[in-house]
Structure 1
């Protein structure tokens, strides 16, 4: 059963059941209560149809309602447009409805930074569906949903694309839940780390003590005043000391032999920490509350963007959740009496390549816990060289030590290498490629036929490397989405705030009471099995999860 839902901005809304034909429209004064009843009282939870999860679901989550399934019109529209190489076109409900009616397509609404973590819902919030004023929003929603189901059915592999839209929509649900629950974060530990590395918290507008001292030492070593925060001044200083460089990137500076280089590199490292995850970040993104024994407990509330990257990986609107630096990871601590369960899919991309290419030899290697150790037998027992060879195959690296290793990979795993080679040729010729379920790469912007000479060749090769990796990375992103969706279905009933609290590429982190750890581990194992069989059927390829139970995210 599918139920179309439109919120009224005042806590209520309109519902319409969609079976073989739309049923009567029902007005409900309490949308959260209606959703809770539908989830609890039906033999099978409905699939909710709404304009966008980030518009509707956060209010339900704040009211204590978690739904099992949904059809997110905005996410589905983006996938369908992308399938036909129309990336970047507006994909809101209003945009989809306008295209159906041959009307001017409105831009997608701009979502303010951090909106997904707002403490309280805004009543009488402006309608962000971008439909024309006076349009029946529920009728428009049902019409666009019907059109999307029709377009999905017309695709060459409709079942795969239906699965992709389902797990992408499930990702929207998980993103709202994780944003609300937050990642456990100890503000006191974070503050201790910053103080140890940077010195006491500085006054506004001043450098931390350690950075100030480094800046003075840099100037003394160079022999003239240098502001290390100014790339232009650093470049002039490097020329002044007789070591001109083309940029201030770390890898460029590391090639220079001069006493100032370690100081500049240390300054860059600590300055990056201060600006990206310093005290201001802590004040902005972590909500603090006292613990049972007076501890400073908190929650980091990221604002996720599902499918924010063309490969299907997620992004965030501020906060940097997908790049938590090693220096502050020790601040991610479980609450007293609780535990963090980390599930990390190691060597995911080469295992995905083995499954999608049907290469029996690579599948045999991927049947082992350590795929690279199995490969190492063919390159003198050197596991690291085996890893370099496989990554070179997927990323298109052909220079240096990679060249002979790549030849070995072609000999050992011909079907796997042909799979990515074909994707690269397609990209070089200006074509598009697709993931296992149908996510589509963007088409090159005209240069494939209009740019000639060395520059054109360089661009074509670069796009070929992109499409070579896209078919693997995008499928790996789908694997992670299916795992996330399967985990949501298989986790045991847990207390409020427990469950999935963090997701990044190929890692999921759960926060659960200590006494529920064994149940959670069983659910994770079951979800991995379901993910493998859902995507690839009876494949010999294994996707082992490195699962760790800890109270400190920085510890393995």
Structure 2
């Protein structure tokens, strides 16, 4: 397959390099050039950052089939234990180390005067190809880089299409809970009434309940000694201020994070368009730079409503990380227990534990490092039953305690001891030997979970990449046109859950394709030991109804 390198040049120009062929285009000519190549023989587009290049193409109605995201792949190869990082060194390599993701909401393809704006894609791609080719695990690394790049395409397409959003439903929800929309800078009426009640009960007429120091001082003056103002902490005390204060904090959080200002900033033309960051965390999990898409609050999900004659197909994987652990460790006994919808119940049926809760405590304890209490007891017993799986995470923890890095199934390396991706205060030097020991144990807990969570992220990336193409093919020979949003398309991804916006007439076919893509991802990663990845699937009009019994749920419009 041809690799076409696109690099930004000063003056709104684009350098195009394909093998020995070199050309320069005006930026305005790029959509037609890319569209023409895609129509004849789609290449792999190689560029510095997908969010930067793909957003303008999508806005022009151009979809690309494949890409290689040099920024994401550079980060993977720099840290991958099986790749020689030195092969990435050369002209501009320090700039590639510094390159940060573009914001897809930025209307400009180019920004001014940054040294990282004019990087040579062809030079960096040659170094990355050499690094992968020299690796003893080139096939796995190649798959990881392809999945990483496909994730970037998915993220850009989801931002472009957006989650269908009913502003009237959201506004009605806020009004019911908070009162009418207040003037800018003021509290809603019901929130202000709760603040007044808290002031009255505490005898603090000037209290600002949004100020943590002020609130803690007022509580102490009222004889209430608490370490913090979390709901769980407040609800352990008996005092008349608890109920209005907890309610104030709940509604205040809604107002500040998903209130009217959130609608103004993130919703337009009936779509919520968050800013996604594929592989935004050390494990490869996605993060969100805006809109809170990866911590979608239940309180406002009722506003995510499919278009007329369309539905939302919501699918999440049951117990993803334990299933991934079974596959990557090659533990056949745990893989047998994972066959079916409930892995934990499978462990009970296997005779490993007495109850489903015991199975859950043991597996989660192993992955997160529980060594005491009921979880610790379960871990000890299950280690004998599933030695390969439990041994894998235990060895990852021991490696971390020795200060060693660990890797995922496809080769993503974890940050080194003291790196900012795991340690809250990496710049603080250890004070003494006890502190060094504490930090190594903390790093061991991080590496224990990293191997599983990171491999789960790899499985999810393969799932997304395959599903993206399956949904596109449902348009059929271009009959639905080149646009993403006129055929079934992904609109949301939350670690182990996807949401597809689809014509109601294609709902059953979409469910089948989501399920087939999950099975294909499992085979791609764990082909020597097939592991089931069953899905919980809902076909609904409103995202709030996902997971509820009764199939397709109506929406009050």
Q: Counterpart of 1:342? A: 314
Task: Determine if contact 1:51/1:129 at 8 Å carries over to the other structure.
Answer: no
Structure 2 Cα separation of the partners of residues 401 and 450 of structure 1: 32
8 Å CA contact 1:434–1:440 kept in 2: the answer is yes
Contact 2:352 2:385 in 1 (8 A): no
Do 1:85 and 1:442's aligned partners in 2 also have CA atoms closer than 8 Å?
Answer: no
TM-score by length of 2: 0.88
For residues 429-458 of structure 1, the C-alpha deviation after alignment (integer angstroms, 9 at most, x for no partner) is 111110111111111129899554443332
Q: Deviations over 1:479-505 (max 9, x none)?
A: 110001011222234343141111111
Say whether 1:471 aligns with 2:471. no
Deviations 1:243-276 (A, max 9, x none): 3122223333233232222222221111111101
1:507 equivalent to 2:497? Answer yes
Matched, 1:308 2:283: no
Distance 1:517 1:53 in 2: 30
Q: Distance in 1 between matches of 2:502 and 2:115?
A: 36
Identify the residue that residue 210 of structure 1 maps to in structure 2.
190
- 1:317-328 equivalent positions in 2, closer than 5 A: 317-328=289-300
CA distance in 2, matches of 1:350, 1:387: 9
Aligned to 1:550: 540
Mapped pair 1:250 → 2:231: yes
Contact in 2 for aligned 1:490/1:526 (Cα 8 Å): no
Bigger mean CA offset, 331-340 vs 32-41: 32-41
**Residue from 221, 231, 250 that aligns with 1:269:** 250
In 2, are the aligned partners of 1:221 and 1:260 still within 8 Å (CA)? yes
Q: 1:26 is paired with a residue of what secondary structure? A: strand
Given that 2:82 and 2:137 are in contact with CA atoms closer than 8 Å, whether structure 1 keeps it comes out as no
**Equivalent of residue 523 in structure 1, options 499, 503, 513:** 513
Runs of at least 5 residues in structure 2 that lack an aligned partner in the other structure: 420-425, 548-557
1:25 aligns with 2:22: yes
Relative distance call for 1:104 and 1:26 in structure 2 (3 A) is closer
In the other structure, the counterpart of 2:554 is none
- From the superposition, tell whether residues 450 and 224 of structure 1 become closer, same or farther in structure 2 (CA, over 3 Å): closer
- How far has the Cα of 1:311 moved from its partner? 0.7
Residues 106, 7 of structure 1: alpha-carbon distance in 2 compared, 3 angstrom cutoff = closer
User: When the two structures are aligned, how many residues end up with a matched partner?
Assistant: 523
State which of 116, 139, 157 in structure 2 corresponds to 1:177. 157
Q: Separation in 1 of the partners of 2:534 and 2:510?
A: 16
CA distance in 2, matches of 1:449, 1:207: 44
Does structure 2 retain, via aligned residues, the 8 Å contact 1:11–1:31?
A: no
SS in structure 2 of the partner of residue 509 of structure 1: strand
1:343–1:548 contact (8 Å) kept in structure 2: yes
Counterpart mapping for 1:461-500 below 5 A: 461-491=441-471, 492-494=473-475, 495=480, 496=483, 497=485, 498=487, 499-500=489-490
Q: How does 1:377-392 map to 2 (within 5 A)?
A: 377=349, 378=351, 381-392=354-365
Unaligned 5+ runs, structure 1: 90-95, 289-297
In the alignment, the residues of structure 2 paired with residue 487 and residue 401 of structure 1 have an alpha-carbon distance, to the nearest angstrom, of 40
Where 2:543 maps in the other structure, the secondary structure is: coil
- Tell me the TM-score normalised to structure 1 length: 0.88
1:228 and 2:209 correspond = yes
Counterparts of 2:261 and 2:395 in 1: how far apart (Å)?
48
Distance 1:85 1:255 in 2: 51
Cα shift at 1:207: 1.0
Q: Is the 8 A contact 1:339 1:512 kept in 2?
A: yes
Give the structure 2 partner of residue 422 of structure 1: 395
CA shift in 2, pair 1:511/1:102, >3 Å:
closer
Query: Following superposition of structure 1 onto structure 2, how do residues 13-412 of structure 1 map, counting pairs within 5 Å?
Result: 13-17=14-18, 22-28=19-25, 30-42=29-41, 45-83=42-80, 99-101=89-91, 105=95, 108=98, 115-118=103-106, 121-122=107-108, 125-126=111-112, 130=116, 140-225=120-205, 226-288=207-269, 298-377=270-349, 378=351, 381-412=354-385
Q: Secondary structure at the match of 1:317?
A: strand
Alignment of 1:431 with 2:404, yes or no, is yes
